[in-house]
Amino acid sequence: HPGCAPANWAAPTDSTNEYIGGREDVAPVDGIAPGGLCSALVLIGAYDRHTGCPVLGVINEPFFRRDPLTRRWQGRYHWGVAYGDTRLSSLSP
């Protein structure tokens, strides 16, 4: 819709990208993962510029599950749209 624009976002500059690489061979120390985390979420949203109301959102979870055979990470995502009378989502109510 022409009245909507993507939400503002910025890439982290605090080494978060390196921290989420996650080394599983490094054991946590007092509940802190010194080798990084195998977890991250990416949120993308859009809103109506006239009302400020959100109209679209997507959440990506790239490290949802590790395949036991290949040891590769499998991701998942969820999405939702709320615009006018349209209400759709990838999740059940």
Cα separation of 22 and 50, whole Å? 41
Which class would CATH give 7-89? alpha beta
Residue carrying structure tokens 């109209």: 55
Nearest CA-CA partner of 10 in 33, 32, 34, 42: 42
pTM score, whole prediction: 0.56
pLDDT digits (tens, 9 = 90+) for 78-90: 999 998 899 999 9
pLDDT digits (tens, 9 = 90+) for 23-44: 666 777 787 766 666 667 788 9
Domain definitions of the chain by residue range: 7-89
Q: Is the dihedral of CA 16, 20, 21, 23 positive or negative?
A: positive
Nearest CA-CA partner of 75 in 62, 91, 66: 62
